[in-house]
């Protein structure tokens, strides 16, 4: 099976941190600024999982601030603030509903509260994540920068940490308002420390339940950008490279084995982080 690389910055890399079963120390924090680029593409995984050609070339860039803060022992608050830039090229078919253009706007701001339930060798956490309705829609191009809906995602995660390795798994049920479908989410992550660098592998599965019937514009459906019933099955890698006790850089990429209404295109991300524990 051919693996198409695709990177979901707002939903995989940062949220692999948010879904961990460990919390920050009281008043401890972690902050990361990251950028992402998906070069021009014109194919998607279709709603049925096959290949779908879009009528013009699309390209995406994003910048996101992600932070964690220990508000008390065993309780951590996280926030993700995404800004997205989307570009739609010249249409390859004669359709007055499809125009060339670009859009720059905030995406869905995400907040979560993570509560550690057990400690010891095996840790267990309960997390509630909320995505705020945001993002703009351009009626001329059909491009959209976020879901026009609230998303509520309660999750359980569990894992074990060692001196030079760790693993954890998580699962949750997502509810999205405004007649979008709900979804289930499962994932796993494992990391190994070599010298002072962390090398991490992860996988995530998002499955739409197809119980929503929101009516979106046809030109938006042709882009696959924040449409209903999006899902994917992915694998990926990332690395954390510390340069001193308090800061370092990160890089990541993920590969979609299959999906629904998501791009089929290589993409890359890099960021800089700072922490205090």
Q: How far is the C-alpha of 51 from the C-alpha of 49, rounded, in Å?
A: 7
Is the model's pTM score more than 0.85?
Answer: yes
Alpha-carbon torsion 76, 268, 224, 57, what sign?
A: positive
Instruction: Give me the half-sphere count of Cα atoms (radius 13 Å) on the Cβ side of residue 174.
Output: 26
Task: Decide if 23 contacts 170 (C-beta within 8 A).
Answer: no
Between 124-133, 134-143, 144-153, the lowest mean confidence (pLDDT) is in 134-143
Nearest-CA neighbor of 183 among 220, 152, 158?
152
Residue 274, phi then psi, degrees to nearest 5? -140, 140
Residue-wise pLDDT for 175-187, tens only, equals: 999 999 999 999 9
pLDDT of 200 reads 96
Annotated domain spans of the chain: 4-276
pLDDT of 69 reads 97
Task: Decide if 201 contacts 237 (C-beta within 8 A).
Answer: yes
Instruction: Give me the half-sphere count of Cα atoms (radius 13 Å) on the Cβ side of residue 66.
Output: 23
Between 4-18, 120-134, 139-153, 209-223, the lowest mean confidence (pLDDT) is in 4-18
Alpha-carbon torsion 217, 220, 222, 226, what sign?
A: negative
pLDDT of 94 reads 60
CATH 3.40.50.261 corresponds to the domain 4-276: no
Residue 96 pLDDT class (50, 70, 90 cuts): low
Nearest-CA neighbor of 158 among 192, 198, 197, 186?
186
Between 50-54, 98-102, 126-130, 148-152, the lowest mean confidence (pLDDT) is in 98-102
Q: Are strands 151-161 and 197-208 parallel, antiparallel or unpaired?
A: unpaired
Q: How far is the C-alpha of 252 from the C-alpha of 257, rounded, in Å?
A: 17
Give Dmax over CA atoms of the chain in angstroms: 63
Percent of all residues in the chain with a pLDDT value above 70, rounded to a whole number: 91
H or E stretch covering 15: helix 14-18
1 pLDDT more than 60: no
Average pLDDT of span 246-269:
87
């Amino acid at each position: 099976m051919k693996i198409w690389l695709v990177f979901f910055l707002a939903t995989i890399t940062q949220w692999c941190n948010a879904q961990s079963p460990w919390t920050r120390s009281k008043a401890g924090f972690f902050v990361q600024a990251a950028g992402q680029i998906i070069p021009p593409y014109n194919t998607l995984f279709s709603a049925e999982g096959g290949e779908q050609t879009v009528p013009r070339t699309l390209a995406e860039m994003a910048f996101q601030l992600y932070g964690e803060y220990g508000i008390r022992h065993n309780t951590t608050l996280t926030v993700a603030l995404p800004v997205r830039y989307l570009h739609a090229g010249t249409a390859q078919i004669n359709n007055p509903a499809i125009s060339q253009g670009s859009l720059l706007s905030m995406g869905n701001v995400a907040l979560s509260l993570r509560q550690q339930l057990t400690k010891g060798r095996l840790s267990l956490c309960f997390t509630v994540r909320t995505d705020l309705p945001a993002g703009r829609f351009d009626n001329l191009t059909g491009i959209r920068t976020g879901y026009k809906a609230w998303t509520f995602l309660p999750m359980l995660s569990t894992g074990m940490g060692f001196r030079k390795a760790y693993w954890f798994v998580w699962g949750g049920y997502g509810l999205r308002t405004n007649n979008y479908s709900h979804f289930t989410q499962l994932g796993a992550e494992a990391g190994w420390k070599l010298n002072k660098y962390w090398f991490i592998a992860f996988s995530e599965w998002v499955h739409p339940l197809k119980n929503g019937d929101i009516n979106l514009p046809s030109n938006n459906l042709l882009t696959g950008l924040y449409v209903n019933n999006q899902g994917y099955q992915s694998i990926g890698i990332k690395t954390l490279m510390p340069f001193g006790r308090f800061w370092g850089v990160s890089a990541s990429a993920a590969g979609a084995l299959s999906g629904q209404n998501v791009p089929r295109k290589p993409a890359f991300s890099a960021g800089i982080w700072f922490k205090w524990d």
